[in-house]
Every structure is written in structure tokens, then in C-alpha cells.
């Protein structure tokens, strides 16, 4: 078994690192949030006092961080990953971040003599806990192959995407489609009820018809239709509106950089921003349905 350094033990990194422990690896974790670190320790992760402490002697370093600015700080800081890690160690960034930062990480890692891959994930907190995530891995072929061996305990699907930053590109485009599907699901669900359709009957139809999507099957935003829906728990977050807003913003930024019109995506981004403006950024992103059914009215 291997020595794994894990930087970033939040809602995704915590359960992912726990699955590495369950697979028999020695996992040393670091997070600035003491509560996140303590939770990881209960799952068998060894608490590290710093990034340098975590990466000492590690075979692989995983990072799972909220934004590009956090990834830059963790990798480029004076006490960061590139400054404190042996170049024989494989570096795997599973954060969902902007394309510019993803490229900067690849460039800096290569210049310093490291193998590095961008390997963002899809599947949410439930997939992280169950070890059924989809990993999208971009980078040099040998590094991708090496990373695949480490990733297996956390994944149901491991898909090489091509060269540097292509994993990040795949994640950004996938999430763009997810959030558009979620908005469409919310609109269809509310209209169906107002046309007199039983909510369960309509879901039964849509889930086996052309209106089907992952958002419909997993995040259906109407209470008491599917068990996994946040709507059943007052929209307690499985994927926060703030995080959804960040992710769709990454797609919009990439689209502007490539002169790609995203008229639907930009509208969905505006809907998420309306929720944030009403103080609901910490609630589940499926709360977008409240803007469709009119129960969340803009404050004066």
C-alpha cells in the first residue's frame, strides 16, 4: 500500500480520503478547517500539521480545493506543494477550477520536474462517500496511467480525457449541462403539477422518456418523489447554490475565452445569482425551483 497526502478535507475530500484509508493506504491529511481535519481523523486519516508534514515521503499528493485561488496558494506558496514535495511524488488535483489556473498548475509542475494531472470528479457527496465517482483525468499519458492506479478505490469510472487541462474542460462542460438540465427539470416539474398531473406519475413518465436526465433522477426538486432529493429536507445542501454558481461561472468564463455563446447557461447563472442575492447560497442548488413556483420572491 502507498503513502497518500491529502490536501483539502471538505465535503468531497473528506469522504474521498476515507475511501483511500479503507483501501489500505496510509493517508496523511491537511486542512485549514480544524473541524474538517477532525472529521477525517475519525475515518482513519492521520492529521498533518502542515502541507510539508503531509507530503513528506508521500507516493502521491491529492488536492481537493474550492477555487483556483486556493489551488494556487496550496501549490505555489513558499510552504506549498511544489516547494516541499519530492519530485518523485505524483501530483493529482481533483479540484474544479478555472482553465487558466489548471494550465498554470500543469506548467509550474512540469517546470519543477513533477508528474501532474488534473483529475476533477463528478458524482457529488454521495458518490464521494460511496466510492462511485467519475474521474476525468488530463495530462501526460504516463502520469495519467499512474494516477489511475491510485484513484480506483474512489471511482466507478476513470476516463482519460487527453492532454493537460482536458479533465478540467470535461468537468466544466459537464456541470454546465447539469445545471441547465436542473433548471429545465424545475420548470417542467412545476408546470406539470399546475396542469393537474400527479407529481409521482409525471416523474415516472419523464424518467423513462425524452425528458430524462441525471438531475431529474437524482435531484428532482419536488418533495416526496425521489429519496435523494434535497427538496425532502428543506433543501439542505447536497450541492450548494454558491458552488453551482461558481461552477457555471467557470463555464461562462471559458466560453468567453473561446468566443462561444452560452445564452442558456448565462440565464441559469442569473437564476443562481438571484438565489444567492436572497441569502440562499448555502442551500441546495435544486432550490432553483422556488424561483419557478414563485415561493421565493425578491426582497424589496
Number of C-beta neighbours around residue 159 at 10 A: 14
- DSSP 8-state class, residue 132: -
- Please name which of 20, 61, 22, 68 lies closest in space to residue 247, comparing C-alpha atoms: 68
Burial 227-259 (b: 16+ CB within 10 A, else e): eebbbeeebebbbbbbbbbbbbbbbbebbeeee
Buried b (16+ CB within 10 A) or exposed e, 196-214: eeebeebbeebeeeebebb
The three cell numbers locating residue 263: 445564452
CA dist 245 and 257 (Å) reads 18
The DSSP letter of residue 286 is G
Cβ contact 221:191 at 8 Å: no
Q: Which of 283, 281, 249 is nearest to 266 (CA)?
A: 249
- Decide if 67 is catalytic: no
Residues designated catalytic: 171
Amino acid at each position: 500500500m502507498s503513502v497518500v497526502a491529502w490536501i483539502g478535507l471538505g465535503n468531497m475530500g473528506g469522504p474521498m480520503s476515507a475511501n483511500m484509508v479503507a483501501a489500505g493506504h496510509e493517508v496523511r491529511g491537511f486542512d485549514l478547517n480544524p473541524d474538517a481535519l477532525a472529521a477525517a481523523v475519525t475515518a482513519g486519516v492521520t492529521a498533518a500539521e502542515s502541507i510539508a508534514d503531509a507530503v513528506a515521503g508521500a507516493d502521491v499528493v491529492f488536492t481537493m480545493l474550492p477555487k483556483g485561488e486556493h489551488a494556487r496558494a496550496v501549490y505555489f506558496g513558499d510552504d506549498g506543494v511544489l516547494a516541499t514535495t519530492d519530485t518523485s511524488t505524483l501530483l493529482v488535483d481533483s479540484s474544479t477550477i478555472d482553465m487558466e489556473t489548471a494550465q498554470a498548475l500543469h506548467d509550474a509542475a512540469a517546470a519543477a520536474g513533477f508528474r501532474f494531472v488534473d483529475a476533477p470528479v463528478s458524482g457529488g457527496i454521495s458518490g464521494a462517500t460511496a466510492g462511485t465517482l467519475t474521474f476525468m483525468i488530463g495530462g501526460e499519458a504516463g502520469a495519467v496511467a499512474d494516477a489511475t492506479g491510485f484513484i480506483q478505490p474512489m471511482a466507478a469510472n476513470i476516463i482519460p480525457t487527453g492532454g493537460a487541462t482536458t479533465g478540467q474542460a470535461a468537468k466544466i462542460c459537464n456541470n454546465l449541462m447539469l445545471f441547465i438540465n436542473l433548471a429545465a427539470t424545475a420548470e417542467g416539474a412545476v408546470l406539470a403539477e399546475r396542469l393537474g398531473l400527479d407529481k409521482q406519475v409525471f416523474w415516472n413518465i419523464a424518467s423513462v422518456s425524452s425528458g430524462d436526465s441525471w438531475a431529474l433522477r437524482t435531484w428532482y426538486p419536488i418533495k416526496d418523489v425521489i429519496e435523494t432529493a434535497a427538496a425532502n429536507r428543506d433543501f439542505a445542501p447536497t450541492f450548494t447554490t454558491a458552488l453551482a454558481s461558481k461552477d457555471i461561472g467557470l463555464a461562462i468564463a471559458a466560453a468567453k475565452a473561446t468566443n462561444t455563446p452560452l445564452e442558456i447557461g448565462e440565464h441559469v447563472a442569473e437564476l443562481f445569482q438571484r438565489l444567492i442575492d436572497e441569502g440562499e447560497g448555502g442551500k441546495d442548488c435544486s432550490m432553483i425551483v422556488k424561483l419557478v413556483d414563485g415561493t421565493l420572491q425578491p426582497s424589496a
